[in-house]
């Protein structure tokens, strides 16, 4: 039922109305998906999980040993993923307005932030779309060490072109929003989605 295209629209709308009337907790949880606090929480849990892992496996020395074992370019790719995860969390927390807040309820019928849930969802949607653009850019401007695009998709890849933004630097992303560099990425991604008939989250 979360796929609205699977049933007639009038049936789907009636179903949503019923879930609202019943204040169904599963529906309430699904409605929280776009909330910027929820999105920030998902990323932070992964950051915290990895921090606990390294605390239990030698800390910084353990990371260094791990990098040496991996060797280049895998170690650099590993560090890049870590840095991007920190930036993603800051996007939700600072740009999206999560502001270090948490939520264990995850049910918009019982939202602990009252009527602010509407704005939190709008903010979450906006910054989630922003992050999808950034992820798409990273995929199409930075070569992947484990896979390569097919020949018919090469028109969308820019491996030999200068980088537009530094995806591991939150401040550079803010500057890119302000100086228009991000608009170039969004324009290219929008054209890609239109010509390939892919959704914004599809890399």
pLDDT digits (tens, 9 = 90+) for 42-73: 999 999 999 999 999 999 999 899 989 989 98
Q: Which pair of structure tokens corresponds to residue 203?
A: 């890399």
pLDDT at residue 23, as a whole number: 95
Residue 7 pLDDT class (50, 70, 90 cuts): confident
Q: Which of 34, 22, 12, 172 is nearest to 4 (CA)?
A: 12
- Which residues are CB-neighbours of 124 under 8 A, at least 6 positions away? 34, 35, 36, 37, 38, 39, 92, 96
The model's pTM: 0.90
Residues 131, 115: Cα–Cα separation, whole Å? 25
């Amino acid at each position: 039922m979360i796929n609205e295209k699977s049933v007639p629209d009038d049936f789907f709308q009636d179903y949503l109305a019923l879930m609202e009337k019943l204040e169904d907790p599963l529906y309430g949880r699904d409605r929280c998906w776009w909330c910027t606090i929820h999105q920030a929480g998902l990323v932070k849990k992964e950051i915290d999980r990895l921090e606990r892992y390294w605390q239990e496996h030698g800390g910084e020395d353990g990371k260094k040993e791990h990098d040496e074992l991996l060797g280049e370019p895998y170690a650099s790719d590993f560090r890049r993923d870590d840095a991007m995860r920190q930036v993603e969390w800051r996007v939700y927390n600072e740009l999206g307005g999560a502001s270090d807040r948490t939520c264990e309820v995850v049910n918009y019928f019982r939202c602990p932030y009252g009527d602010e849930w509407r704005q939190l969802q709008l903010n979450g949607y906006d910054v989630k779309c922003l992050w999808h653009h950034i992820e798409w850019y990273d995929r199409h401007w930075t070569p992947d060490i484990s896979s390569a695009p097919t020949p018919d998709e090469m028109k969308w890849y820019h491996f030999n072109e200068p980088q537009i933004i530094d995806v591991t630097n939150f401040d550079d992303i803010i500057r890119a929003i302000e100086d228009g560099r991000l608009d170039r990425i969004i324009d290219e991604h929008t054209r890609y989605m239109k010509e390939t008939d892919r959704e914004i989250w599809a890399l």
